[in-house]
Amino acid sequence: MDLLLIGPPGVGKGTQAARLRQALGIPHLSTGDLLRRHVAEGTRLGAAAAAHMRRGDLVPDELVTEMALDRILGPSCAAGVVLDGFPRTPAQAEALDAALAGHGRRLTAVFHLTAPDRTLLRRLTGRRTCGDCGDSYHLDTKRPRTPGLCDHCGHRLVQRADDTAETAHARLAVHTRQTEPLLERYRPTGVLHEIDGRGDADDVTRRLLTALGRGAAGSSAFLAGGAGRL
Per-residue pLDDT tens digits for 148-176 = 999 999 999 999 877 889 988 988 998 89
In a domain, 103, yes or no: yes
* Residue of 71, 15, 62, 18 lying closest to 41 (CA atoms): 71
Higher pLDDT, 186 or 134: 186
Report pLDDT digits (tens) over 7-40. 998 898 988 999 999 999 999 998 888 888 888 8
In a domain, 217, yes or no: yes
At residue 100, what are phi and psi to the nearest 5 degrees?
A: -65, -45
Place 216 in a pLDDT band, splitting at 50, 70 and 90: low
Q: Which residues are catalytic?
A: 13, 88, 127, 160, 171
3-state secondary structure of 156: strand
Q: Residue 112: which domain range?
A: 2-124+167-229
In a domain, 196, yes or no: yes
Place 229 in a pLDDT band, splitting at 50, 70 and 90: very low
Q: Rg of the chain's alpha carbons, rounded to an integer?
A: 18
What is the total count of domains within the chain? Answer: 1
In a domain, 54, yes or no: yes
pTM of the model: 0.82
In a domain, 98, yes or no: yes
Q: Determine contact, residues 10/123, Cβ cutoff 8 Å.
A: yes
In a domain, 131, yes or no: no
In a domain, 218, yes or no: yes
CATH number at residue 183: 3.40.50.300
In a domain, 55, yes or no: yes
> What string of DSSP letters covers 15-38?
HHHHHHHHHHT--EEEHHHHHHHH
